[in-house]
Amino acid sequence: MNEFGLVPVLETERLLLRGHQTSDFPESASMWADPKVVAHISGVPSSYEQSWSRLLGYTGHWHHLGFGYWAVISKEDGSFLGEVGFADYHRDTEPSLKGKPEAGWALNVRSQGKGVATEAVAAMLVWADANLKQTHTSSMFDPSHVASINVAKKVGYKNKVLGRYGDQETLFMERERQTPGS
């Protein structure tokens, strides 16, 4: 265990991925309240209360499932950039995501378009390949969210399938665990 509890610390050239701290909450809540951030996720900014529940859910995922979300921190200045990770939300989707941890990422607006998402998601997938027991991870998108779909393709997500989440048309992709040399 490390100073961030159950969450492994991952490092890239520019980023530190670590467990969330309560001190991250104001930046996380601000990010999730930004209409530009949520435009292709839920379309609805999160309330302070919803963001607090999300933060607690991240911790619960690590505790109960052995995977979850990381806070993405700039190594240059220590600023909060966003969140990446895996979840099992027991979503009612078609196709089903059962047995395939759902990869997700969200960055504050000032961090978008700089390769941060690709760098952070690639790091979490290296961790997943070495640590998750599941053979596949999944991801789902608003079909018009070109930026996130491009990140997914860059890090190996494929098998694009149009399906549904609730009453919304949704794009699903999956990635098979990579083994050394593959």
Place of tokens 């001190």: 23
Complete DSSP assignment for 38-84: HTTTTSSPPPHHHHHHHHHHHHHHHHHHS--EEEEEETTT--EEEEE
Q: Which pTM was predicted? A: 0.94
Looking at residue 171, its pLDDT comes to 98
Give 108's contacts (C-beta < 8 A, 6+ positions apart): 27, 30, 31, 34, 37, 80, 81, 82
- Specify the amino acid at residue 99: G
CA–CA dist 90, 88 (Å, integer): 6
Looking at residue 2, its pLDDT comes to 41
- 126 by Cβ neighbours in 10 Å (0-12 / 13-18 / 19+) ranks as middle
* Percentage above 90 pLDDT, the chain: 94
- Residue pLDDT, tens place only, 131-176: 999 999 999 999 999 999 999 999 999 999 999 999 999 999 999 9
CA–CA dist 103, 78 (Å, integer): 24
In this structure, the number of other CB atoms found within 10 A of the CB of residue 168 comes to: 12
- Residue pLDDT, tens place only, 48-73: 999 999 999 999 999 999 999 999 99
Looking at residue 179, its pLDDT comes to 82
In the chain, beta strands by DSSP E: 10-11, 15-18, 69-74, 80-87, 93-94, 102-107, 136-141, 158-165, 168-176
Beta bridge pairs of residue 165: 93, 168
C-alpha 92 chain-centroid distance: 19
